Chains A and B, each alone.
Chain A
Amino acid sequence: MAIEMVKESSHLAEKTLASPCEHQAAIDGLRRSLQAALSGKNDIVEMVLACLLARGHLLFDDLPGLGKTTLAKAVARAVGGEFARVQCTPDLLPTDITGFNMFDQKSRAFEFRRGPVFSDVLLADEINRATPRTQSALFEAMAERQVTLDGQTHPLSQTFFVIATQNPVESHGAYPLPEAQLDRFAMKLRIGYPDRRSELEMLAANIGVVDGVRHEPEPVITPVQLCQLQEHVAKVALSAKVQEYLVDLGRATREHKEISLGLSPRGLISWQRIAQARAHLRGRDFVTPDDIQDVAGPVLEVRLAGDFDAAPRLVQEILAAVEVPVFR
């Protein structure tokens, strides 16, 4: 068990974003700092940003050493909140995540010790190695944004953002996440190997640095500003025909022969929100079918139970099954 908590004392003034220009500047700042942390993976950075702005949780399904932790840390620092990291193992207990009540000998009373969920960004590494009991404790926190212990409810941070990782090749001693739990994540991403040029750059940057290059970006926005951005994203407009398109896509997942469990209404709502975030990231105040199609892969892959390798093909089949609304 390794729990690490970083308390970030924000030096940014708690100012709010007033004009659209400031909105755009905040988003650009976030984008730049994440791109610096994960070079050569701009599309992944866009998805992470969309997930963050849509107030969804993120699941990385990838091999070790591809930069998952780096990215998660960069997100936490850029948002300027508290960062916590939990390395999941089979002996991790629910209270290790949520916190626990400890009897204080001096005050003769129980005192609540807050766990790592009381942070702004939580990185749950190798989440499929934790026992289902611990997993579900985390999922309650993710869904309800609160922790209930001994009848007492403790609210979490408003911008609570979970980045979980799981390792697809290690199946021994792993507790795969059930489909119902996977629904709590907004999207699943695979970072994949960087391209040749980026790898060369990385090697070059490490020459002469004893401890390896560490990106410690400065905070770009405050949690309050992030909240504002999230509120703004929620207001991005969808016309009726785009919503119909989204619903048709959802129904297509349920009617597809190879998919045993189609998209839930919660999944559909989450897809809409992420498409809104995507549209906002592109500087639009309305969603087009392009936004929906762009985020379809990460959104659907986390929810379509079935073969891991077949998921991208299934997503393409579903997109092909529904006609894009143009003139109707």
Chain B
Amino acid sequence: MKFHHIASVLLAAALAATSAAPVLAQSIRIGFHAPLTGFAASDGKSAVQGAELAVEQINAAGGVNGRKIELVVQDDQARPDQALPLANKYIGDGLKIVVSGSYSGPTRAAAGVFHQAKVPYISAYAIHPDITRAGNFVFRTSFMGEVQGKAAAKLIGEILKKRKVTLLTLNNDFGQALTAGFKEVAGRFGISIASEYTFGMGDRQFGSIVASVKKDDPEILYVSGYFFNGGPLVAQLRAAGVTAPIVGTEGFDTHNFITVAKDAAEGVMITTSLDRDSKAVPMRKFITDYETKWKAPADMVAASTHTAIYVAAEGLRRGGADDGTKIRAAIAGIKDFEVATGKIGFNELGEIYKAAQVQVIKGGQFRFFATIDDPVLLAPPTK
């Protein structure tokens, strides 16, 4: 009985909070969903922090057309089945623009709903190709997986001049898209695939893969995955005496990767969109403000959601805050827009081109190694 009492008090408080919301109607609301709980909660935290920093900076600079912006954050648990009710809630609440700070599963599921409702929807770092194909109200401000895989092939074949590679692929859409892009152009850079092993999202122990890599003895390894499986994998490879260089992906682009892999992380290279040593003002400002505000090093996920919120705000600035169709047209017209992850603009599919950054881990920090600026190789699809 007591429990029911407490529950009803909480419910009443929640209702009061909801009905109090219109008081803030002066600010423009931007929907933002991310995995705040569940297996991807670590990326969810970075995602929200990056987005909140963007909101703070934009508001501090005067907001959008004189109005403040605010985030309406929802938790999608990185699950597609959570994305539909959440998308319908945003649409029902009359939001005119929504940003996904989540993985491909929920983003892909929600994209069609937002397109149908004529609500512009920006995917910050989900990589599945079908997301932007849901319709022209959907945009993406990061690399597609295939494109990043191609950048890695160029890095390995042309810059590092390695020929015999072993692929260690995470068996979800992220890992498979990276590997598919890599394989598509590997031949062009004289790379031969010595062997390929896949692992699951939940895997942390890779003894049999490590034994196989030792047997195959490749010149270099291309490893997909996130910090929580890539970190242990790299550590286990090095502990077992594998010395071949390791090229990772933006999934490793977080300081947590270094915390987990420790000394084994030294020398690991990644392709990503965040250059810590960049001289570009928006990128520098993002990195320093992020570290000041959150007392943690910036990562790719935070930079990507930060970028997406800036794009959303730019859409609102140019298209007004009331009409999804006008906002969509405004975003589609963005060209050479300078944000934390570089200078971006959209093609007819809602994809961007940007140069890929190669970072290398030195002295426990991500450092500049190279930039791969190849508009032909890294061109996003247009349909």
The reply to whether chain A is a binding partner of chain B is no
Which positions in B face A, CB cutoff 8 Å? none
Which positions in A face B, CB cutoff 8 Å? none
